[in-house]
Structure 1
Amino acid sequence: MPTFDKLTIGISVTSFATFQFLFHFVSSWLSEQLTPGFNKLGARQKIEWNSRIVSTFHALLVGCFCLYILWYDEAVNADPIWGDPFWVKINVAITSGYLISDLLLIICYWKAIGDKYFVTHHVAALYAYYYVLGEGLLPYFGNFRLLAEFSTPFVNQRWFFETLGYPKTSAANLLNGVMMTIMFFLVRIAVIPIYYARIVFAFGTEAFHRLGLGPQCAWIISSILLDIMNLIWMQKIAKGCYKVLHLCITQTAKTQENGKLE
């Protein structure tokens, strides 16, 4: 039976409270200082805006922590299933607090930010992290999934630009769209072979069998669910990026043609 130590619980609760505070108090104040367009938004748009500000902050925080662990935590890299999970548990506890906070906001403001895919994503992630936090299992794999957060700031920035009325073909929107597509592919799709190669390498070993059926299912099922959603999102992002680039190229060609005719 998984047991949660006081440090893990404390960090998760602190994370939850911090992200709630950022959503309800800090985001609106900060956004008013950064862009006058925030005050022109409707109530539902402001809810989603604040949610995305918090999401970006969380992504940068845990993403950088994730890279640090992958580069410098020798125990976790040497033993991905049973390695010392201390730093991973801290990072995952921060993420778990955020996921619970975001789930609460999604439920409370369903008409504004309700999304069944996000609910599925959060629940699947929490299901897997339950074993990382409770028993310290699978630290490498639990931390590795957090690489995906590096695409989140670009996804959110696209929404900010569109909400503020930036044309899709504007330089800022185009640059962010291309970077979003590239980053999403790198941290969510390109890493899939690396992730599952480590799973195959560990499969059938004594360390794998010691996990038991519950953790094994949580690990494999949640991984598959998350990657199916990542592939669906990647397809949508790639199509959107292609359409905007094609539109931009078409408009540029027409402008040049009109210029020659004149």
Structure 2
Amino acid sequence: MLASENIMTLKSYQNRANLFVKEYLLADSLIPYTSVITGILACKMVYELTQLIGTSYFKIYSSFSKIQRIEWNNRASSTMHAIFITSMSLYMVFCSNLFSEYQSTEGITVRSSSLSTFALGVSAGYFIADLGMILWFFPSLGGYEYVIHHLFSLVAVAYSMLSGEGQLYTFMVLISETTTPGINLRWYLDVAGMKKSKAYLINGIVIFISWLVARILLFIFMFYHVYLHFDQVKQMHTFGQLLVMVVPLVLSVMNLIWFSKIIKGLRKTLAKRQ
């Protein structure tokens, strides 16, 4: 009898929790705000958890300087965001019917859903939190190029989330975050004194391939997609049109500059092993 009452009570709490999530946290009008807060809190949680794990299980962590420990923790948040938004972006662009050419008479540039808006909100929350960290410890966590990258990304993601315009192209650009875990792992291997290891070499090759696919070829595909659907892009608000054209272009230039550095670094690594 007591067990049955406990089960009933538990189900009652579950129903209330589900109702709260559906009617408040995931209500269409509140999704942008709850998702951004979720993104910021997730960054904070991962940061604190990484600090705890580093202190408890990694001896090398205690030998780091203060800024190295901060960057160690911050890169963990960056990696978790990259995994989340890359997964969501790949699903939205290639698997979901939301942006399918044949699923709706509505223009591709104005399609959105609760899930797509929530995913963008979480990403916007991350960019807010990470930009705050970069500015607070500037330039220790990144120079002006990182500030420019995050500002452009944040404005584009936030506009797409709030207006519902151009979400397909925003997700296409966010797929480029697939390179972030490899970049962060390279930093971890570097500070751990493993630059001469086989893992460091493999990591460099993986970064080269993923960067070429996600930040060069995919951007070319996105520009071609914009060209094919330019009649729909022109129906967007002026600011939305500007973001679709300017933000990917600026990021493309930055990606090409960084890609040249990746090639030089990989060449040096391979030369040392010959």
Category of TM-score, reference length = shorter chain: 0.7 to 0.9
What is the CA–CA distance in structure 2 between the aligned matches of 1:22 and 1:169, rounded to whole Å?
A: 29
Counterpart of 2:104?
none
Give the TM-score, by structure 1 length. 0.87
The alignment's TM-score, normalised by the length of structure 2, stands at 0.84
Q: CA deviation at 1:86?
A: 3.0
Q: What does the per-residue CA deviation read over 1:157-209, in whole Å, with 9 as the maximum and x for residues that have no partner?
A: 1111111111x331111111111111111111121221111110111x1x323
1:42-79 per-position Cα deviation (integer Å, ceiling 9, x unaligned): 11111111111111111011111111212322122324
Alignment of 1:104-253 (within 5 A): 104-166=132-194, 168-203=195-230, 205=231, 207-249=232-274
User: 1:15 offset after TM fit, Å?
Assistant: 0.9
1:26 to 49, 53, 57: 49
Q: Among residues 76, 86, 90, which one is paired with 2:99 in the alignment?
A: 76
Identity of aligned residues (%): 24
How many residues get paired?
A: 242
- How far apart, CA to CA, are the structure 2 residues paired with 1:194 and 1:111? 34
Question: Secondary structure of the residue that 2:235 maps to in structure 1?
Answer: helix
Deviates most, 29-38 or 94-103: 29-38
> Which secondary structure does the structure 2 equivalent of 1:5 belong to?
coil
The more displaced of 9-18 and 92-101 is: 9-18
Unaligned runs of 5+ in 1: 250-262
Q: Which runs of 5+ in 2 are unaligned?
A: 1-27, 102-106
Gap change, CA 1:124 and 1:111, over 3 Å in 2: closer
Give the AA of the match of 1:228. V
Q: After superposition, give the CA deviation of every residue in 1:91-113 in whole Å (9 maximum; x if it has no partner).
A: 21111000000011112222421
Cα RMSD for the two superposed structures: 1.6
In structure 1, how many angstroms separate the alpha carbons of the residues matched to 2:142 and 2:201? 27
Runs of 4+ in structure 1 deviating by more than 4 angstroms, as ranges, are none
1:81 Cα deviation from its structure 2 partner: 0.6
2:34 is the alignment partner of 1:10: yes
CA distance in 2, matches of 1:94, 1:103: 14
Query: Could you tell me how far apart the structure 1 residues matched to 2:112 and 2:189 are?
Result: 42
CA distance in 2, matches of 1:32, 1:171: 27
How many angstroms apart in 1 are the aligned matches of 2:83 and 2:251? 20
Structure 2 counterpart of 1:248, which letter?
R
Amino acid at match of 1:18: A
Letter in structure 1 aligned against 2:149: H
Question: Is 1:58–2:78 an aligned residue pair?
Answer: no
